[in-house]
Amino acid sequence: MHSPNFSLYGFGPGHPFDPERFDRFPEYLKEKGAGERFEIIGVEKADWEIIESVHEPEYLERLRTLAKIGGMVSPDTPVSSSLIEGARYMVSAAVKGMDIAMENGWNVITMGGFHHAGPDYGEGFCIINDVAIAAKHALSMGKKVLILDIDAHQGNGTMDIFWEEPDVLFISIHQDPRTIYPGRGFIRDIGGGDGKGYTVNIPMPRFSGDRQYALAFEEIIVPISEQFGADVVITNGGSDPHYDDPLTDLGITLKGLNYMGRMARRISKGRPMLNMLVSGYGRMTMPGWYALAAGFSGMEWDEDDHWDRPSWARDERMDDLTKAITDAIKKELKDYWSF
Ligand SMILES: [Zn+2]
């Protein structure tokens, strides 16, 4: 899913979130000779009604007012009318992408994944939660949804929106929240009310790499996903778990990103999948998106990292630290899932 209007989603010069990424990705796929593997589908602008399926009307009114008078929803997230326009195109892409995935059983790739926006708040470069809107759309058709959030930052907005929802399994694997924004998503955060057990947070130690992520997938993500048995799968994230990302401290390589894409495909077991790409704040953003997209799509892919990897990314002691975390998660969730 793509629209030239996605690039309206920007915060101005100097901000780490460059909107050129959205137009660059289809070009990058062509350069890699993968352009023909994908059919590009255009989108219209979402109406406010579908956005209200997730966000409170007062909050949306505040967004529109801030766009007029100039202001911000949080210190890192100034609001403008072009930001709102861009967001509405990406919401529409997510919803239409979900429809197409469900109608054809396809893996759809789109751009977006603004997981830090909650029911009545925006922050962390996010104002409208397109992940949650796509999930709500599937939910309204009686579907059970797995959201696999593989962004380096925890998906606090999505978590808050589905905290009490047992038909949405929200799994977030992210950098230890004590060491990074948004500072949320600890092992003990497992949902509430009827949704208890349907929120799973996997806080990965700083500097953990491909092997530690593989451990978390095998020990936690795969078994829980299989027991849940979703009708549709949504993934969101991007390149920011890569070791070269300037905003994060993880040790994932391009091969590790490709592994996550392949695992998501394996977990989906041929069921419809919507894959949302948005993050990455350095030179690996496009190669990382490509590695993920190839994994989601079951394409052949074999690339190496183009940059020197810091020595900490190979630290074998990380395995023990990660094992302690997966054990603690199993203990916390033992009443809800078997391991
Ligand atoms: Zn992120």
pLDDT in tens, 329-339: 999 999 999 99
DSSP string spanning 155-216? Answer: -HHHHHHTTT-TTEEEEEEEE-TTSSTT----TT----GGGTTSEEEEEEPTT-BHHHHHHH
pLDDT > 90? residue 15: no
Q: Which of 2, 55, 116, 174 is catalytic?
A: 116
Q: Collapse the DSSP code of 241 into the 3-class scheme (helix H, G, I; strand E, B; otherwise coil) and give the result.
A: coil
Give residues whose Cβ lies within 5 Å of ion ligand 1: 151-153, 240, 279
Pairing of strands 168-175, 199-204: parallel
Position 180 scores a pLDDT of 98
Position 306 scores a pLDDT of 74
> For tokens 């027991």, what's the residue?
227
**Rg of the chain over all Cα atoms, to the nearest angstrom:** 18
pLDDT > 80? residue 308: no
Locate 159 and state its tokens.
């978590």
May I ask the CATH architecture of the domain 4-332?
Answer: 3-Layer(aba) Sandwich (3.40)
Distance CA 227, CA 293 (A): 25
Q: Please tell me the distance between residue 88's alpha carbon and the centre of ligand 1 in angstroms.
A: 20
Number of helices (H) and strands (E) in the chain: give both, helices first: 11, 8
Position 312 scores a pLDDT of 64
Evaluate whether 162 touches 170 at the Cβ level (below 8 Å): yes
Q: Please tell me the distance between residue 247's alpha carbon and the centre of ligand 1 in angstroms.
A: 8
Q: Which of 68-77, 94-103, 309-318 is the least confident region?
A: 309-318
Position 129 scores a pLDDT of 98
- Kindly report the pTM of this predicted structure: 0.97
State the maximum Cα–Cα separation within the chain, in Å, rounded to a whole number: 53
Position 193 scores a pLDDT of 98
Position 309 scores a pLDDT of 72
Evaluate whether 169 touches 255 at the Cβ level (below 8 Å): no
Q: Please tell me the distance between residue 306's alpha carbon and the centre of ligand 1 in angstroms.
A: 21
Give the mean pLDDT of the chain: 95
Distance CA 111, CA 261 (A): 15
Distance CA 315, CA 27 (A): 36
Active site annotation includes 174: no
Query: What is the residue type of 137?
Result: H
Q: Please tell me the distance between residue 152's alpha carbon and the centre of ligand 1 in angstroms.
A: 5
Position 311 scores a pLDDT of 67
Per-residue confidence band for 253, with pLDDT thresholds at 50, 70 and 90: very high
Q: Please tell me the distance between residue 275's alpha carbon and the centre of ligand 1 in angstroms.
A: 15
Residues 6+ apart with CB under 8 A from 324: none
pLDDT > 80? residue 8: yes
DSSP state of 221: I
Distance CA 157, CA 110 (A): 19
Position 33 scores a pLDDT of 93
Q: Please tell me the distance between residue 153's alpha carbon and the centre of ligand 1 in angstroms.
A: 4
3-state helix, strand, coil in the chain (%, to 5): 45, 15, 40
Q: Collapse the DSSP code of 285 into the 3-class scheme (helix H, G, I; strand E, B; otherwise coil) and give the result.
A: helix
State the average pLDDT over residues 288-295.
98
pLDDT > 80? residue 101: yes
Locate 153 and state its tokens.
């930052």
State the average pLDDT over residues 167-191.
98
pLDDT > 70? residue 204: yes
Position 22 scores a pLDDT of 95
> For tokens 């790499």, what's the residue?
209
pLDDT > 70? residue 143: yes
State the average pLDDT over residues 218-228.
98
Q: Please tell me the distance between residue 71's alpha carbon and the centre of ligand 1 in angstroms.
A: 23
Position 313 scores a pLDDT of 59
Per-residue confidence band for 324, with pLDDT thresholds at 50, 70 and 90: very high
